[in-house]
Structure 1
């Protein structure tokens, strides 16, 4: 019996030792596994990242995010049509383990809300929309501030007093940009008119270039746009006229025409948002950042812009950044001459976000 007791005691000791060693070996594996787990973030783009415009600027922000926060794993899906197909792509991104998704076009809004309801543990950020949920926030920048400044530049530059605007879709965002641009033009050149042509496209190089040509043939000597391609700028260069780009610096695509571009800088917003989610401090909101946040800006001026004109634009830019000037401050009249904003009053964000009329100085109509 004594021998058996000693034997069993030895066996129990060995079993306990193996158990301790086994537990000890699992711990670093768990820790190592945690180290290898990366926060996955998905981006969905309406156009190709090589569009030189909207999707290009968002992808630059994605790359900035990766550099600023090590250990992330980001992915993107480009050229996703707005509508039902975007719901499928958003679902696909979630099923692949993405815990944060940035949907970067207005037309993804309803799809984002639908998919977010199915996946409450995933955070969705929708660019330029207005619908939110507990796990859905919206984000945008006050591009109308940069648009106003490019209008000042166009108004100072035009000789024909005809300026062309190639417009995308008749939604408040686009209408707001046209109005802000026209207010900028008329602030320095009350005789100038802004002609609008609609393409109903975000990304169609041929159609957008043709629209630019039609405006130039109608007498415009400066053209600008609200699409993702440099087509209108290239049309201006071919005609020996000037242009103002959008989304990103388009001067490389038409160096003799582009005076500047109204540009987006999404990177810092993406970094701040992801850090807030990681820290557990993020809450659904509707971010609409001003020029002072550096989310919108002007690209460097081209050599054709004189120092005197630069000074005029930069002075107004500083007033906007410092909050001394607000673009949509009355008196503002519509095309029919009716006063819409009284002298000294500022248009509310709600009114700006639902704009469906043109200011005085715009030539064109808003399709229903």
Structure 2
């Protein structure tokens, strides 16, 4: 009888444990997203929102977002509001949200916070980004293979490591196929301002640039290129519909799998704070289909390097690398570490412009 009672009790405990586990697994998760620009139908916030939609409604996940949130105090207000509403996981998708998110995270230790493109972390706050410089290198190869003036223009938002790193990778890719290519940079000091971005592109076109690249959220620079009858390289999403005659390719994001991975980890209790920096091998970054005008010889070279990036046999920031003043920054046989890449504040040889 005693043995039977023990067995029954054990069975009850197992059933209870299974029920508790099921309750935990079945708990509807609330996941919030904060965007720096309007979602629209293209661009940076649009790419993140496609990732949000990838997880929304799956496995009991409910998502919400707030768009066009200014960096600074307004971001803190929005993140705090989500935390107070009991969100289980909150993604803040712009660099300037880092300190506001950290401040809120310290007040809500039971909520997981994830910040995109920054470097600060806490026990319940991690940071994430993608190795977009890999895709930038490939798009630089396309630009270098298509230019006739050997002058490429780059409309850039803010002089922070993320943007500088992308400009450098683009330049290295361009000069790998065309050693005479130079990249001229104009800073807009905005993530999203279509009119300002377009005017910046026009200023680069006036200097003789015949391919325009961008680290901006709108298709404004590509539209400017099309109006002048030259080419453009997009960013964030495939914006070919906005400038079909100019668009060559774009460096693009695919956030869906990453957002699912983080959501699953929070749900099953395996999430850990840290820096998540996935690359082309994980499918987080890629390039959009190349335009028909891109020659087969360029396509073949890009495809070969892409395969090496995915296999991990090629690192764009490998020496010998010189800065724009000719000083060797990375000696032959050496590659930049992640820490060096994340803190990059100098331009490589071939870039015309200031990091200020």
Coarse TM-score class (shorter-chain normalised): over 0.9
User: For 2:193, which of 204, 218, 223 is the aligned residue?
Assistant: 204
Residue correspondence of structure 1 range 111-122 to structure 2 within 5 A: 111-122=100-111
1:150-171 alpha-carbon deviations (Å, 9 max, x no partner): 1111111100000000011000
Q: TM-score, normalised by structure 1?
A: 0.89
- Check whether the contact 1:144–1:180 (CA below 8 A) recurs between aligned residues: yes
- Check whether the contact 2:25–2:268 (CA below 8 A) recurs between aligned residues: no
Unaligned 5+ segments in structure 1 are 1-32
The answer to whether structure 1 residue 348 and structure 2 residue 334 are counterparts is: no
Please identify the structure whose Cα radius of gyration is greater: 1
The answer to whether structure 1 residue 150 and structure 2 residue 133 are counterparts is: no
Q: In 2, distance between residues paired with 1:324 and 1:122? A: 38
**Alignment partner of 1:125: what SS?**
strand
Q: In 1, distance between residues paired with 2:210 and 2:89? A: 44
1:73-119 alpha-carbon deviations (Å, 9 max, x no partner): 10000000000110110011111221100000010000010000000
Unaligned 5+ segments in structure 2 are 1-22
Aligned to 2:55: 65
Aligned to 1:56: 46
**Alignment partner of 1:73: what SS?**
strand
Q: In 1, distance between residues paired with 2:248 and 2:166? A: 18
Question: What displacement does 1:278 show?
Answer: 0.7
User: For 2:37, which of 44, 47, 50 is the aligned residue?
Assistant: 47
Which consecutive segments of 4 or more residues in structure 1 shift more than 3 A? 33-37
Question: What displacement does 1:312 show?
Answer: 1.1
**Alignment partner of 2:114: what SS?**
strand
Aligned to 1:129: 118
- Check whether the contact 2:111–2:124 (CA below 8 A) recurs between aligned residues: yes
Aligned to 1:10: none
Pair 1:36–1:349, CA change in 2 (3 A) = closer
The answer to whether structure 1 residue 303 and structure 2 residue 303 are counterparts is: no
Aligned to 1:8: none
Question: What displacement does 1:65 show?
Answer: 1.1
1:201-229 alpha-carbon deviations (Å, 9 max, x no partner): 10000000011111111100000000100
Aligned to 2:273: 284
- Check whether the contact 1:146–1:298 (CA below 8 A) recurs between aligned residues: yes
The answer to whether structure 1 residue 222 and structure 2 residue 211 are counterparts is: yes
**Alignment partner of 1:183: what SS?**
helix
Q: In 1, distance between residues paired with 2:339 and 2:289? A: 32
Question: What displacement does 1:36 show?
Answer: 8.8
**Alignment partner of 1:314: what SS?**
helix
Q: In 2, distance between residues paired with 1:187 and 1:66? A: 42
Question: What displacement does 1:70 show?
Answer: 3.0
- Check whether the contact 1:106–1:129 (CA below 8 A) recurs between aligned residues: yes
Q: In 2, distance between residues paired with 1:301 and 1:108? A: 34
The answer to whether structure 1 residue 232 and structure 2 residue 221 are counterparts is: yes
Aligned length: 337
- Check whether the contact 2:144–2:174 (CA below 8 A) recurs between aligned residues: yes
- Check whether the contact 1:51–1:229 (CA below 8 A) recurs between aligned residues: no
